[in-house]
């Protein structure tokens, strides 16, 4: 990737990524534990940032199954506030009512439980 995009700073990308099968790459596996763990790491980092408003761009599947429990259709957005972290250091979000169907109204209002349907273990 570095050769194809020399203008991009890759210094913040984990050199293990995109490996998902070795012990070092286990945190990137397609499993409930790995995905929800990465989501919680991201939420923890965002919670402790000094900015009052932060825009996150990501894959809808990761946002739905790992972070929010809400569907995101292409180019739609939602607005959330952080809840106070739980005693076990779990971070959760509360969506603004004005974006229940997405800010553009393109997304489903239906929700899923975080981690729903994700495999417990990685299978190649």
Q: What does pTM read for this prediction?
A: 0.86
Q: Cα–Cα distances in Å, from 115 out to 16, 40, 91, 92, 118?
A: 23, 12, 14, 13, 6
Cis bond before residue 50 (omega within 30° of 0): no
CA distance 66 to 52: 22
Give the pLDDT band (50/70/90) at residue 95. Answer: very high
93: which strand partners? 82
Per-residue pLDDT tens over the stretch 8-63:
999 988 999 889 889 999 999 999 999 999 999 999 999 999 999 999 999 999 99
**Structural domain boundaries in the chain:** 26-99
């Amino acid at each position: 990737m570095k050769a194809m995009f020399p203008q991009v700073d890759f210094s913040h990308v984990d050199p293990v990524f995109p490996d998902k099968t070795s012990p070092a790459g286990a945190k990137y596996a397609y499993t409930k534990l790995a995905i929800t763990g990465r989501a919680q790491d991201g939420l923890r980092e965002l919670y402790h940032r000094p900015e009052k408003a932060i825009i996150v761009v990501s894959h809808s599947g990761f946002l739905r199954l790992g972070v929010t429990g809400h569907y995101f259709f292409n180019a739609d957005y939602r607005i959330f506030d952080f809840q106070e972290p739980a005693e076990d250091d779990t971070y959760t979000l509360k969506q603004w009512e004005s974006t229940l169907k997405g800010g553009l109204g393109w997304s489903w209002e239906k929700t899923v439980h975080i981690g729903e349907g994700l495999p417990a273990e990685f299978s190649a």
